[in-house]
Amino acid sequence: MSVIERISYLEHIKKFIDKKLIKVFVGQRRVGKSYIMKMTANYILKQNKVANIIFIDKERYEFDAITDYHTLISYVESKLSKTEANYLFIDEIQEISEFEKALRHFQNKDLADIYCTGSNAEMLSGELATLLSGRYIRIQVNSLSYTEFLVFHQLEDNDDSLFKYLKWGGLPFIKNLEKEDEVIFDYLSNIISTIIYKNILYRYRIRNVEFFDRLIQYIAANTGNLITSKKISDYLKSQKIDISSKVVLTYLQYLQNAFLIYKLKRVDVHSKKVFEINDKYFFEDCGLRNALLGLGHFSIPDVLENVVYSHLKQIGYQVNVGVLKNLEIDFIANKGQDVVYIQVAYVLTDEKTKTREFGNLALIKDNYPKYVVTLDPVIMGSYKGIKQLHLREFLKKKQF
């Protein structure tokens, strides 16, 4: 298997190899979960050349006969080595009915070190959580970070490379395509169709395709804006689609279950109160968001917040939108005891913009780091202890 190592994932996974925990890789389709598993298998084989690797890919026809936990157990037991260490990898395990019963069987008998992937958040609830509570570890796989994007595409760290990242996003397979916008956007559009039809419409037996198309278009056009289900419902009614707020919320959850979008709640900076209305939605991959709207509608300012959020998520921060009286702080990010506040702006074109972006942060009276992230060609440094960072520098940081 020829793979480019995604080092941060491999370093994390190493800690759990040969431990009696099932490693569950979750994330949107095509972000590289299979790639991460193959990378892990490669690493195991380098450490133990006679390791017995059993790899089941439910997206390949030769594994179509594995449909439920009975057939999964039968297949795996026929492939087990009696003399060497066994490692079981199952790709898109949610396609196998009651798979969690098979995983419990394998783990109880200590038959193999187990790794699996899934493209729906629901696989980590219900029976899996009940039958395997405390026996698995969840590993979120995201699309490529900016630094990974540079490695995959063999690019220098410059503004042109950043522009490509903002436009194309970080799905790993783009590496294999002609580097032309039309080719890449065709590919991204097909991925969107696969996620919507296979992971959502088919899974949840939804027939109102037109509604789903309008809904996801609305989320793409309003990425980073405060949204309520009523606002979406009212918009759709203006488009002659009569859908209740309750149904909108349900369908938004389906999009989140497929890891296509993420919802950010608003949190009061001081009291930590969580507000129940006006959320923000961001895409797992900004390239997919851009493809939904079409190449002709691509605009750098529209994706900046999405890219900043994605990076914070990729390096392990929990992220919310901040509320400070009647002002908004774009992001409050937490990792353990660490907190960082971030404002995002395209460029600080005038004193009014500068005062707004730095001024909001200056009102927060604590000593946690505060940043204004922009694309200004000349970075002023800091103002009242608040640092300005160019987006390229921000996307290379692993900790704040």
Whether residues 291 and 247 share a domain: the answer is yes
Whether residues 364 and 238 share a domain: the answer is yes
Angle between helices 209-221 and 229-238 (to 10 degrees): 120
pLDDT at position 43 is: 96
Distance CA 81, CA 83 (A): 6
Q: Measured between alpha carbons, how far is residue 33 from residues 9, 95, 150, 220, 324 in Å?
A: 10, 15, 19, 24, 38
Residue at 80 is within a domain: yes
Residue at 2 is within a domain: no
Whether residues 36 and 22 share a domain: the answer is yes
- Could you report the per-residue pLDDT of 302-312, keeping only the tens digit for each? 999 999 999 99
Whether residues 218 and 258 share a domain: the answer is yes
Is the pLDDT assigned to residue 65 strictly greater than 80? yes
Report residue 203 as tokens.
């899974």
Is the pLDDT assigned to residue 2 strictly greater than 80? no
Give this prediction's pTM.
Answer: 0.94
Residue at 78 is within a domain: yes
- Could you report the per-residue pLDDT of 3-54, keeping only the tens digit for each? 688 999 999 999 999 999 999 999 999 999 999 999 999 999 999 999 999 9
pLDDT at position 127 is: 63
Q: Measured between alpha carbons, how far is residue 194 from residues 23, 30, 81 in Å?
A: 25, 10, 36
pLDDT at position 381 is: 78
Whether residues 279 and 343 share a domain: the answer is yes
Distance CA 398, CA 400 (A): 7
Residue at 181 is within a domain: yes
Whether residues 190 and 265 share a domain: the answer is yes
Distance CA 55, CA 48 (A): 16
CATH number of the domain at 308, please: 1.10.10.10
Burial (CB count within 10 angstroms: exposed 0-12, middle 13-18, buried 19+), residue 306: buried
Distance CA 289, CA 156 (A): 25
- Mark which of 140, 156, 191 sits at the end of a domain: 140
In this structure, are residues 45 and 53 in contact, taking their beta carbons and an 8 Å threshold?
Answer: yes
Residue at 399 is within a domain: no
Whether residues 133 and 159 share a domain: the answer is no
- Could you report the per-residue pLDDT of 86-108, keeping only the tens digit for each? 999 999 999 999 999 999 999 99
- Mark which of 85, 111, 140 sits at the end of a domain: 140
pLDDT at position 1 is: 44
Name the domain count of the chain: 2
* Percent of the chain surpassing pLDDT 70: 99
Whether residues 308 and 330 share a domain: the answer is yes
For residue 208, give its domain range: 146-394
Whether residues 157 and 213 share a domain: the answer is yes
Give the mean pLDDT of the chain: 93
As a whole number, mean pLDDT of residues 74-82 equals 98
pLDDT at position 126 is: 66
| pLDDT band with cut points at 50, 70 and 90 for residue 239 | confident
- Mark which of 116, 140, 164 sits at the end of a domain: 140
Q: How many of the other CB atoms lie within 10 Å of CB of 74? A: 12
pLDDT at position 347 is: 93
Residue at 89 is within a domain: yes
- Could you report the per-residue pLDDT of 125-179, keeping only the tens digit for each? 766 777 788 889 999 999 999 999 999 999 999 999 999 999 999 999 999 999 9
As a whole number, mean pLDDT of residues 266-284 equals 94
Whether residues 150 and 131 share a domain: the answer is no
Residue at 400 is within a domain: no
Q: Which residue has the higher pLDDT, 71 or 128?
A: 71
Distance CA 281, CA 291 (A): 17
Whether residues 198 and 221 share a domain: the answer is yes
Residue at 367 is within a domain: yes
Whether residues 56 and 102 share a domain: the answer is yes
Is the pLDDT assigned to residue 211 strictly greater than 60? yes
Q: How many of the other CB atoms lie within 10 Å of CB of 188? A: 25
pLDDT at position 44 is: 98
CATH number of the domain at 12, please: 3.40.50.300
